[in-house]
Amino acid sequence: MRFIVSSGSLLKQLNMAGTLISSNSAMPILENFLFTLLPGKLVITSSDSESTLTTTIAVESEVEGEACVPAKILMDILKTFPEQPLTFDFGGDDNQLEISSDYGRYQIGYFGVNEYPRLPEIEDSSVSKMPSGVLATAIQKTLFASGNDDLRPVMSGVFFQLNKEGATFVSTDAHKLVRYRRVDISTAESAEFIMPKKPLTILKGILSTAEDEVQLHYNQKNCRFEFKHIVLTARLIDGRYPNYDAVIPKENPNKLTIDREAFLHSVKRVSLFANKTTHQIRLKIAGSEVQTIAEDLDFSNKAHERIQCDYDGSDMEIGFNSRFLVEMLSNLESEHVLLELSAPNRAGLLSPIDGKEIGEEVLMLVMPVMINS
C-alpha cells in the first residue's frame, strides 16, 4: 500500500479530523486515524465512538488498502515540513509505515483495522438540505447557551426542529435560552432531535469556510452531515427536550431599544466591579436612560454608568448575571437590540432590531437574579 500526497493538504485534513481524537480514549485504537486508500484518493476517518468524521483528499495511488496510523506522531512530524510531496509506504508483515520527504525517511508503527469501529449506517433516515452558511449561523447563535450539566443531558446539546413551516434551533441551560429560526427553509417531513455539543463545535469550524449545501440524514439515533468531501456522523442525545415555548413570556409591555455595542461595553466595564460569585449587575431603567450598576460589598467595589436609550414602559430595576448578557450581546451582530421586560422577577427577551437576514428570527431569553438589598 503506497501513495504520494501534498504535505500541506494532508496536514489540513488531519487537523480537521484530529479534533475528534482524544489522547486518553477508552478505546486505544481511536487514538489513530483510519486511512482507507482507493485509486486516486485517501479517505481519512477519526472517531471518539460517539461521533465519526471522514474527509477525502486526492493522492497519487493505484492500489487499495486500509491501516490505522497513530495520530499524534503523524501530525507532529507533518507540522515540521514545508510544502512538499510525501511518499507513504506501508510495509507488509512488520506493520511499519515509511514516510519519505525531501529531508529523509521516517518510520511509524501502524495497526490493523479490525478493531476500528465502522461508520454507523443510518437506516430509515429522513433527508434535508440547507445552505452551509445558514447551518453555521444557527450553530454559532445557539451553541453558547447549551448546558454542561451531566444530570440533564438533553440540555447539553442543540434542539433541531425541522418541518414545513421552517427550521428552528434551540439551546438552553435553564438560565439562558436561544431560539434561532429560519422561515425560509422547510422540510417535507417533520423531525425533532438533539445534537450533542462536541460534533456541533467541530461542524461550526468546518462550515465557517464552506460554501456548499449541507445534506442531513437522520433517524432516531444518529444524524449525518454531508457536504463536499466531508461526512460527520453523530449519535443523537436520547431524551425529550423541555417545552421551551412555555418559559418564553408572551406579554412584555416594557420595551428598551439600545445601541448594542454601547450596552455590551458598559456591561463589561461595570461587571468588573460585581461580586465574583454572583456576577450580578442591576439595570435601572427610567425615561430615556438606563443605568448599569454593580457592587461588591466584600471589597467595597462599585461602578455606575448611564446610557441613552429609547424606553417605552414603566420605571424598572432588574438584576441579571452579567456573563449571560455579555454572551448574548456578543453573539448578535445588529447595531441596536430590543430588550423586552415584564417584571423584575420575569425573564427578559433580547432580540436584534436590524442586521437580520431575510427569513431569520433570533430570540434570546435571560433569567433575572434577585437584587441584593
Of 84, 109, 134, the one marking the end of a domain is 109
Q: Does residue 254 share a domain with residue 226?
A: no
How far apart CA 86 and CA 97 sit, in angstroms, is 12
Domain assignment of residue 120, yes or no: no
Q: Does residue 254 share a domain with residue 237?
A: no
- Closest CA relative to residue 65, chosen from 86, 34, 94: 34
Say how many C-beta atoms besides its own lie within 10 A of residue 340's C-beta: 19
Domain assignment of residue 115, yes or no: no
Domain assignment of residue 351, yes or no: yes
Q: Does residue 255 share a domain with residue 201?
A: no
Q: CATH number of the domain that 332 lies in?
A: 3.10.150.10
Q: Note the pTM of the prediction, 2 decimals.
A: 0.92
Q: pLDDT tens string for the chain (373 positions)?
A: 999 999 999 999 999 999 999 888 889 999 999 999 999 999 999 999 999 999 999 999 999 999 999 999 999 999 999 999 999 999 877 899 999 999 999 999 999 999 999 887 888 888 999 999 999 999 999 999 999 988 899 999 999 999 999 999 999 999 999 999 999 988 888 899 999 999 999 999 888 777 789 999 999 999 999 998 999 999 999 999 999 999 999 999 999 999 999 999 999 999 999 999 999 999 999 999 999 999 999 999 999 999 999 999 999 999 999 999 999 999 999 999 999 999 999 999 999 999 888 899 999 999 999 886 5
Domain assignment of residue 116, yes or no: no
CA distances from 44 to 109, 220, 240, 289 (A): 17, 26, 34, 57
Number of domains in the chain: 3
Domain assignment of residue 347, yes or no: yes
Domain assignment of residue 41, yes or no: yes
Distant-in-sequence, close-in-space partners of 104: CB < 8 Å, separation ≥ 6: none
Q: Does residue 99 share a domain with residue 142?
A: no
Domain assignment of residue 119, yes or no: no
Are 180 and 197 contacting, i.e. CB atoms less than 8 angstroms apart? Answer: no
Of 191, 210, 245, the one marking the end of a domain is 245
Which domain, by its residues, includes 38?
A: 2-109
Count of alpha carbons within 13 angstroms of residue 66, beta-carbon side = 10
CA distances from 24 to 46, 127, 234, 235 (A): 14, 35, 20, 20
Q: Does residue 255 share a domain with residue 239?
A: no
Of 204, 223, 245, the one marking the end of a domain is 245
Are 256 and 311 contacting, i.e. CB atoms less than 8 angstroms apart? Answer: yes
Q: Does residue 237 share a domain with residue 256?
A: no
Residue holding cell 418559559?
Answer: 247
